[in-house]
Amino acid sequence: MNHTIADVAVPTARSKITLRNKWSVSEASFRRILYLAGLSLLILIVAIFFSLVVASLPALRQFGFGFLTGKTWDPVRGEFGALAFLVGTLMSSFMALLISMVFSLPVSIFLGEYFRHGNASTFLKSVIELLAGIPSVIYGFWGLFFLVPLVRALEVKIGVAPLGVGIFTSSLVLAVMILPYASSIGTEVISLVPSDLKEAAFSLGATRFEVIRKVILPYASSGIFAGILLALGRALGETMAVTMVIGNSNFLPKSIFSPGNTMASVIANEFTEATGNLYLASLIELALVLFIVTMIINILGKLIIHKMSARK
Amino acid sequence: MQGMAEISIHRRIWADRLFKGLIILLSLCSIVPMFLILFLIVKNGISVIDWEFLTHLPKPIGETGGGIANAILGTLWLIVLSFVFSVPLGVFAGIYLSEYRGDKLAYLTRLAIEILQGIPSIVIGIIAYVWVVMPMGSFSALSGGVALGIMMLPVVVMATEETLKLIPDSLREASLALGVSFPRTIMKVILPAGLSGILSGILLGVARVAGETAPLLFTAFGSPFMNYNILKPINSLPLTIFNYATSPYPDWHTLAWGASFVLIAFVLGLNLITKSVTKKWKVQF
Amino acid sequence: MESAVLRIENFSASFGELTVLKDINLSLSRNTLTAIMGPSGCGKTTLIRCVNRMHELTPNAKVSGKILLDNQDIYNTDPIIVRRQIGMVFQRPNPFPTMSIYDNVIAGYNLNGIKLNKEEMDRTVEESLRKAALWDEVKDALHRKGNFLSGGQQQRLCIARALAMHPEILLLDEPTSALDPKSTAHIEELVSHLKTTVTIIQVTHNIAQAARISDFTAFLYLGELVEFGSTEKMFTGPKDKRTEEYLTGKFG
């Protein structure tokens, strides 16, 4: 029996065609929906930026660039200078980075070179994953009840004011929190170093240590750097754990054991009690600075990673 | 001459062994914090958990007992809200990025996602405050849901895109060759095939968002009461932990340990479930 | 002479600047098996992908000329309707992994929202699986997913899926190139039986296979249709020198 186009599109006496309405959307509308979904994400980012700028306008207009260099943060007198928080942020983040690198680099080498497969590798990888999954507030809680007494004891020993809380403590907690981020990219780039490069070095009689030092690390250096950048980005924006152990002082920190505040922690502390447009706008301006700085660092880090994969 | 060369090799071999030992030692050190944290939470928290703790509301200061029922409920409610705000949009954006890979807009969207991923959670809290709390004039579960939804978006989009990219083109062609339109091919063949990957991405997003505090500080705000109304403030587990842990009352500290236990169990449990979902539902090609 | 079920007239296809098919003229009779052969890159896969309008899914794809299915210009018809009339089986078996064997066979109806009652569905599934010589092997496992099937069985499932739509033409794109010899033999046998009920075009790079099963053969070289005729005549006395060289293995 000859079938024509009509037979398939039109029912025979016995069969029924019910084109279910859900997917009767024409192809063009579907494409439009998808396109809009993608576009809306772009709009979201732009909207976030603009909202932050608009909301912080009062502070931007009042203080201008002096906002970042002002030493005094006095809500009562309406003086808002963020230098103390910038310093606090930089101090805690960079110290955290240094402390973390002491452990994250070995982890990257452990997982990327020495123990790529097997039980040891799975175990350490799971632990690192778990560390990344612990909520920030729990880190803060642990920092408050475990690290603070330890730091206090240390401060007594070295003759500093035994507060326990402070920038040093916050950098300790941060160091643990950013370990997974600093180590994961490092692990990947180290494991992706081409084996023929390594074999060339081995065949010349180098020890593993020397191959790592002279072949692997140099090759993977930009990737490791990217991982550090991304970890830094994470540390800069971290709020809860920091706010719980940093001591919440709005004065310029004098030493690493001083209490202080980061841009993120002062927002967390004071936002709900902020009265008046200028106060709120100043806090939002801090958020704007955080947004821009973390965005630049993240883009830089991802750019380096893209360049590395392009190189291969 | 030969003596010198031998010492040098000897030294190098020792350096090699020492280095490996150092690497192993330092790597294992990173396990220590995890065990410390988990141990502390289990030790201090497990004694607090009982039926009353899980089903009762918190009591005022001075009274013993009380529980975190409203926090548990609040967390669940906020998860549902963030789901609503992030999953439909995120999945469709992920489909767009996977099926129209080369588009100029796709490149920009991917950039937007990467920026979104890196925004500190407190900044997102401020955005939700400006967009929802200020016009509404009050704190609400809705604003908290919006904040958490924005945080979940990148996770959902990336999970969808990565999963769909892995599905071979031959499947799309098989469907198209049967005369099935493109929308149906995507929704009835491709998306179901990628379900496990997308679902595990969503679950991981939920695990992350369930533990967030900063964006809720001035959106959901917290509340000592049970609340089902999304237009009112709502409590959550992380908020409770924060408030109790930083309070001066030892009784509340104990409650905070219990709440931490529940939160950690929930988050880690979700991570484990995700792994088994991925294994069980994964479609092989 | 029977009217041709498929007529290709002055047909050319390209990807951007690269022309892949040049001025093809071909006419196929109903219920015959035509083999399309030629060395890699000669355009044979592109040709059949133009017949069911899959070629245009690639960006920058362009076509010119006419293809007439039962005297209807397929490029003036909605591609979806064209594809429902023409079945395609691909090089690598691609059954839908989330569907059972049963659902795979009637996927063409389900996905298009065409509702059949249970009796019709059962009948279509059995009929198609029988035609694809797979019924006996899977009749007790119809509602299991197809991933336990061997490569050859999966390919027969794909053939059943295409046949379930009662297509005018069945396009086979090197259907046995990913299969072992035993499965290849199975499918060759089934295809040569099928040609009595549906017009088949099979792309193959296996000259011996073309000789074994096809009624007509088209030889493509660098996008041109070099020769077309009955298989017997072409293999015993090719008219074009290039055809002769290809058949005797001098290239390709």
In chain A, where are the structural domains located? 62-311
pLDDT at C244: 87
User: Distances in Å between the alpha carbon of A42 and those of A46, A53, B105, B110, B112?
Assistant: 6, 17, 9, 9, 6
pLDDT at B285: 60
**In the predicted structure, residue B63 carries a pLDDT above the cut 80:** no
In this prediction, residues B120-128 reach a mean pLDDT of: 96
Q: Which residues of A touch B264 (CB under 8 A)?
A: 134-135, 138
* Higher-scoring residue by pLDDT: C29, A64: C29
Q: Which residues of B touch C54 (CB under 8 A)?
A: 173, 176-177
In this prediction, residues C198-227 reach a mean pLDDT of: 91
Q: Are residues B55 and B19 in the same domain?
A: no
pLDDT at B5: 62
Q: Using the CB atoms, write b or e for C135-166: b if 16+ within 10 Å.
A: beebeeebeebbeebeebbbbbbbbbbbbbbb
Q: Using the CB atoms, write b or e for B120-153: b if 16+ within 10 Å.
A: bbbbbbbbbbbbbbeeeeebbbbbbbbbbbbbbb
Q: Which residues of C touch B173 (CB under 8 A)?
A: 54, 57, 90, 94
pLDDT at A70: 87
**In the predicted structure, residue A22 carries a pLDDT above the cut 80:** no
Q: Which residues contact B147 (CB under 8 A, 6 or more apart)?
A: B121, B124, B125, B127, B128, B215, B216, B219, B220
In this prediction, residues C159-175 reach a mean pLDDT of: 94
pLDDT at A13: 29
Q: Are residues B22 and B83 in the same domain?
A: no
Q: Using the CB atoms, write b or e for C22-41: b if 16+ within 10 Å.
A: bebebebebebbbbbbbeee
pLDDT at A69: 86
pLDDT, one tens digit per residue, over B133-179 is 999 999 999 999 999 999 999 999 999 999 999 999 999 999 999 99
Nearest C-alpha in C relative to A24: C113
Q: How confident is the model at residue A9 (pLDDT cuts 50, 70, 90)?
A: very low
Q: Are residues B56 and B14 in the same domain?
A: no
CB spacing of A8 vs C85 below 8 angstroms: yes
Q: Are residues B102 and B202 in the same domain?
A: yes
In this prediction, residues A37-43 reach a mean pLDDT of: 95
Nearest C-alpha in A relative to C166: A3
**In the predicted structure, residue A6 carries a pLDDT above the cut 50:** no
Q: How confident is the model at residue A25 (pLDDT cuts 50, 70, 90)?
A: low
CATH code for position B238: 1.10.3720.10
* B102 interface with C at CB cutoff 8 Å: yes
CB spacing of B284 vs C97 below 8 angstroms: yes
Domain assignment of residue B46, yes or no: no
pLDDT at A7: 32
pLDDT, one tens digit per residue, over A175-224 is 999 999 999 999 999 999 988 888 888 888 888 898 998 889 998 998 99
**In the predicted structure, residue C42 carries a pLDDT above the cut 50:** yes
Domain assignment of residue B177, yes or no: yes
CB spacing of C94 vs B179 below 8 angstroms: no
- Residue pair A230/A298 in contact by the 8 Å Cβ criterion: yes
Nearest C-alpha in B relative to C103: B189
Q: Are residues B251 and B170 in the same domain?
A: yes
CB spacing of A103 vs B30 below 8 angstroms: yes
Q: Are residues B23 and B71 in the same domain?
A: no
Q: How confident is the model at residue B226 (pLDDT cuts 50, 70, 90)?
A: confident
pLDDT-above-90 percentage for chain C: 63
In this prediction, residues A90-110 reach a mean pLDDT of: 95
CB spacing of A138 vs B41 below 8 angstroms: yes
Q: Which residues of A touch B25 (CB under 8 A)?
A: 106
Q: How confident is the model at residue B66 (pLDDT cuts 50, 70, 90)?
A: confident
Q: Are residues B21 and B65 in the same domain?
A: no
Domain assignment of residue B44, yes or no: no
CB spacing of C115 vs A17 below 8 angstroms: yes
Q: Which residues of A touch C120 (CB under 8 A)?
A: 14-15
Strand C61-69 relative to strand C199-203, pairing: unpaired
Domain C4-247: CATH superfamily, name plus number: P-loop containing nucleotide triphosphate hydrolases (3.40.50.300)
Average pLDDT value over all residues in chain C? 90
**In the predicted structure, residue A168 carries a pLDDT above the cut 60:** yes
Average pLDDT value over all residues in chain A? 87
The beta-carbon neighbor of C83 closest among B178, B188, B195 is: B178
pLDDT-above-90 percentage for chain B: 65
- Host domain of residue B80: 51-281
Partners of chain B (3+ Cβ pairs below 8 A): A, C
Assigned fold of A62-311: MetI-like fold (1.10.3720)
The beta-carbon neighbor of B177 closest among C52, C59, C81 is: C52
* C58 interface with B at CB cutoff 8 Å: no
As for the ipTM of the complex, it is: 0.91
pLDDT, one tens digit per residue, over B164-217 is 999 999 999 999 999 999 999 999 999 999 998 999 999 999 999 999 999 999
B187 DSSP assignment: I
Min distance A51 CA to chain C CA atoms (Å): 39
Q: How many domains does chain B have?
A: 2
pLDDT at B46: 87
**In the predicted structure, residue C46 carries a pLDDT above the cut 80:** yes
pLDDT at A18: 34
Identify from C86, C98, C148 which residue to disrupt to test chain B contact, counting B C-beta atoms within 10 A and taking the largest count: C98
